[in-house]
A and B are shown apart, each in its own frame.
Chain A
Amino acid sequence: AQRVTQPEKLLSVFKGAPVELKCNYSYSGSPELFWYVQYSRQRLQLLLRHISRESIKGFTADLNKGETSFHLKKPFAQEEDSAMYYCALKSGETGGSYIPTFGRGTSLIVHP
């Protein structure tokens, strides 16, 4: 069965510090991986997906199939990055459809 692990419940950094939110997955095939973000009092929204290989709001994420990881990184954290971040995997395992499985989330707090 597919599984997404986010080992950190909480990550606390100061403004300007580098940030890395960890995500590991277990799936034997080729996964589709995403990062979603939930800002305070807002709904979850897509941050980025690995197929796009793009940087969104300064964040990037690289799929490492050898380590089965999809860590989210940003070189210089900003206060507005404070939010809950969820890693998600789509594999087709859910009844043959692509319904995402989410990790438990990491709360990022960026101090001034």
Chain B
Amino acid sequence: NAGVTQTPKFQVLKTGQSMTLQCAQDMNHEYMSWYRQDPGMGLRLIHYSVGAGITDQGEVPNGYNVSRSTTEDFPLRLLSAAPSQTSVYFCASSYSGRWTEAFFGQGTRLTVV
């Protein structure tokens, strides 16, 4: 099994450009989420989804959009990139429930210049 796959691994954007970070999982997990990882800030939740067609905002949603049309895919869209969005982005998925383990993608390192 591939687990959680994120593409691309690296990306450089110019301020104002838009792009989509892809995330796919093949474990039939209900839950999927996006985090950003910044030095000294840990992992902060951007958006999450508890099933196909259902999404909600996390702690830092501004400037990002998501959709969940299938169980497998959960893309993250940057609408108009800003230098403050320079970060490492992680996608995670899990089964629903209190004790389930979150499985992570390998991360996307995004630089906005």
Confirm or deny: A68 has a beta carbon within 8 angstroms of a beta carbon on chain B. no
B66-110 vs A, CB cutoff 8 Å, 1 = contact: the mask equals 000000000000000000000000101000111111101111000
Residues of chain B with a CB closer than 8 A to A32's CB: 98-99
B60 CB, nearest partner CB in chain A, Å: 12
Is the pair A102, B56 in contact by a Cβ cutoff of 8 Å? no
**Alpha-carbon separation in the docked complex, A51 to B45 (Å):** 24
Confirm or deny: A39 has a beta carbon within 8 angstroms of a beta carbon on chain B. no
Is the pair B48, A97 in contact by a Cβ cutoff of 8 Å? yes
The winner among B35, B43, B58, B101 for most chain A CB atoms within 10 A is: B43
B13-50 vs A, CB cutoff 8 Å, 1 = contact: the mask equals 00000000000000000010101000011111100101
User: When A92-B98, A98-B98, A99-B31 are in contact, do A6 and B42 touch as well, CB less than 8 Å?
Assistant: yes
Is the pair A43, B107 in contact by a Cβ cutoff of 8 Å? yes
User: When A43-B104, A43-B106, A44-B104 are in contact, do A97 and B43 touch as well, CB less than 8 Å?
Assistant: no
Is the pair B45, A101 in contact by a Cβ cutoff of 8 Å? yes
Is the pair B98, A104 in contact by a Cβ cutoff of 8 Å? no
A10-47 vs B, CB cutoff 8 Å, 1 = contact: the mask equals 00000000000000000000001010100000011110
Residues of chain A with a CB closer than 8 A to B97's CB: 98
Residues of chain A with a CB closer than 8 A to B100's CB: 98
Q: A43-B90, A88-B102, A103-B42 are in contact. List 15 more A-B contacts (CB 8 A).
A: A36-B102, A43-B104, A43-B107, A44-B102, A49-B101, A51-B99, A86-B43, A90-B98, A94-B56, A95-B48, A97-B96, A99-B31, A99-B58, A102-B42, A104-B42
Give A contacts to B, CB under 8 Å: 6, 9, 32, 34, 36, 43-46, 49, 51, 86, 88, 90, 92, 94-95, 97-105
Q: List 24 A-B residue pairs with CB atoms under 8 Å apart, sorted by A's residue number.
A: A32-B98, A32-B99, A34-B101, A43-B4, A43-B104, A43-B105, A43-B107, A44-B90, A44-B102, A49-B101, A51-B99, A86-B42, A90-B98, A94-B45, A97-B31, A97-B48, A98-B31, A98-B96, A99-B31, A99-B45, A99-B50, A101-B45, A102-B35, A102-B42
